[in-house]
A and B are shown apart, each in its own frame.
Chain A
Amino acid sequence: MPALSEDLKNRIRAFLPKYPRKQAATLPALHLVHDELRTVSNEAIVEIAEILELHPSEVQDTMTFYAFYKAEGEKLGKTRLWVCRGLACMLRGAYELIEHCESKLGVHCGQTTADGAITLEFAECIGACDGAPACLRNDVHVMNVTHDKADKLIEELKLR
């Protein structure tokens, strides 16, 4: 049983004509797989490498540089919720917000709730400083996050 569906493989292949070298499609491929499967397993790495005509170790080498990707044995929840800890957010209560979210969700940053709904993370500055303290809901900024607003967001994400 392959790790990647034919559809997913085709979406990776669609990136190849955009670049003069197939290796350049490594990050797009990892994003596609990671978004859909919530992890990049060793088998997925082998299959990505086949498409990009690389050795699996080359894909692995690139992937492990970016702490962003969850590898074999780790899995993202349905939603990835990042709380920014950059200076602009820290000055406006980010540390308190991180602590609040950790206690609300019962997990530490980097962990996923038992129901698989939310993976909580801290982020280095996400460039949403005009709405500090800010969060990132997958890849969308949530600005001016009070503890109340965080609670409501978490409730909403749990029902997804």
Chain B
Amino acid sequence: MPYEPVLLARINKPNSNKLAGYRADGGYDTFERALKEKQPLDVITQVKDSGLRGRGGAGFPTGLKWTFLPKDHPGPIYLCVNADESEPCTYNNRILMEKDPHQVLEGIMLACYAIRSQCAYFYIRYEYGDGYRSMQGAIDELYAAGLLGKNILGSGFNLDVVMHRGAGAYICGEETGLIESLEGKRAWPRIKPPFPAVEGAFRKPTIVNNVETLACVTQIMKRGIDWFKSLGVPPDPKNPRDAGSYGPKLYTLAGHVEKPVCVELPMGITLRELVETHGGGVWKGRKAKAVNPGGLSMGFVDVHAPLKGEDGKTEYDIPLDFNGPGKVGCLGLGTAAVTVIDDQTSMVEVLHNVCQFFSHESCGQCTPCREGTGWMLKITDRIRRGQGRREDLDILVDVADRIGIMPGTTICGLSDGAGWPVKTAIRKFRAEFEAAIKSGVKSQYAKALNVVGAH
């Protein structure tokens, strides 16, 4: 039986972003019931017990994060919604914001009730103009309906949701970079501790949650823990630190697939099935060579590399749960944004594009990241110009293995993320890089982009 979507259940309805339709589908009933019947702690407990892990990339248990807030704090406590979705090739949050903003807002309202916050800042990247207007329209409807503002539904609970637009910087997706940016400063990530739960926005306790995570909160409170745990993958009994990969997940497909779409599936589908069944396979009848399993900073999967101990299977057969990509040397599931690279594409070109991104988006605060991403770009650029040197590949791996890994040398995870695609690409496709260096062939794009790069 095919899986029936829950998070995306409403997106194809006419006017799916309007309050009337959302209410007709039972929307905000869960929030109203929580206000009347549940204590904030009950909501935290239900989210914690569901096993929900954050959907933004790191997979940190959401309910547990909420419990890090100081007890009996006089307030204010803030919720920051991370809608900066800037990890390349990721667009699942955009679909939710544009098509079903009320599902996200109900999750925000439940979360704020749980953590006793009266103010949520919704930090959305500037490039999502339609998402911004859809969310703002939904918020305006809620104020008019008395579901936001003071003394909501006579419960004594007050809540404001404020939309705040970014200005085109990837680093604002890092939670403390987001907070700095919200405060009107350079989006330079903060040294932790203190973590935001203790001292975050405006030096007050703050929870930062991703958009899809909050949509999951809505559904967990509506459908219950058993429903959520009936989907996905339970914890690995051999790994005591594994918290499991429960629930539905929005996977996005991009690159060389026949159908680049966002699909909702229970966590744990294999990469092969996702691409071949839901993405319609590789485009133009070609074969896949590499796949990026969850946003660029996760690294690359070699579709043809055999999976150790599993006869006949390859890296293409890994499950897309929180543990799957890690089994083949990738950083993790990340944003579950899957990008396919076909067999006629040069990995040199791909890696150069990746390095270009991280070098452009490094905030410049920490030396290993600023210099490391810059040098990785210079070296990959040299290789694509046909001027690669024999030692370049070892230097790249050496840099990628070190930046962001040594504790205390960088403040946030950007440089670690910048390293993974480099080290996985070169380790898994070394022969192709060596051949490119040996042949000295110049990329057809090298000239055009030199001018662009001067911007």
Contacts and interface: CB of A to CB of B under 8 A. Distances in A.
B368 to A, nearest CB: 20
Contacts of B256: 91-92
B353 A61 contact: no
A140 B130 contact: yes
A126 to B, nearest CB: 4
Given A20-B202, A27-B181, A125-B88, A88 B452 contact: no
Interface stretch (B120-128, B240-248, B268-276): B120-128
Nearest to B202: A20
B255 to A, nearest CB: 4
Interface string B30-68: 000000000000000000000000000000000000000
A122 B452 contact: yes
A25 B181 CA distance: 10
A65 B254 contact: no
Contact of A91 (B185, B341, B452): B341
Interface in A8-39: 18-21, 23-28, 30-31
A18 B166 contact: no
A28 B182 CA distance: 10
A109 B76 contact: no
A28 B357 contact: no
Q: Which of A18, A25, A91 gathers the greatest number of chain B CB atoms within 10 Å? A: A91
Interface residues of A, number: 52
A132 interface: yes
Nearest to A54: B184
Given A20-B76, A109-B455, A124-B360, A87 B89 contact: yes
A154 interface: no
Contact of B255 (A65, A92, A99, A128): A92
A78 interface: no
Contacts of A20: 76, 202
Contacts of B292: 87
Interface residues of B, number: 64
Given A87-B354, A91-B339, A127-B85, A132 B184 contact: no
B89 A88 contact: yes
Given A20-B202, A125-B88, A65 B186 contact: yes
Interface string B111-136: 00000000000000111111010000
B128 A127 contact: yes
A123 interface: yes
Contacts of B185: 23, 26, 61-62
Q: Which of A25, A90, A108, A125 gathers the greatest number of chain B CB atoms within 10 Å? A: A125
B260 A21 contact: no
Contact of A109 (B87, B445, B452): B452
A129 interface: yes
B186 A18 contact: no
A27 B296 CA distance: 28
Q: Which of B88, B94, B185, B349 gathers the greatest number of chain A CB atoms within 10 Å? A: B88
Given A20-B76, A108-B455, A129-B252, A124 B202 contact: no
A123 B378 CA distance: 20
Interface string B76-94: 1000000001111111001
11 contacts: A24-B202, A27-B164, A65-B187, A69-B167, A87-B357, A95-B445, A110-B455, A125-B87, A129-B339, A130-B91, A131-B260
Interface of A: 18-21, 23-28, 30-31, 52, 61-62, 65-69, 82, 85-88, 90-92, 95, 98-99, 102, 108-110, 121-132, 136, 138-141
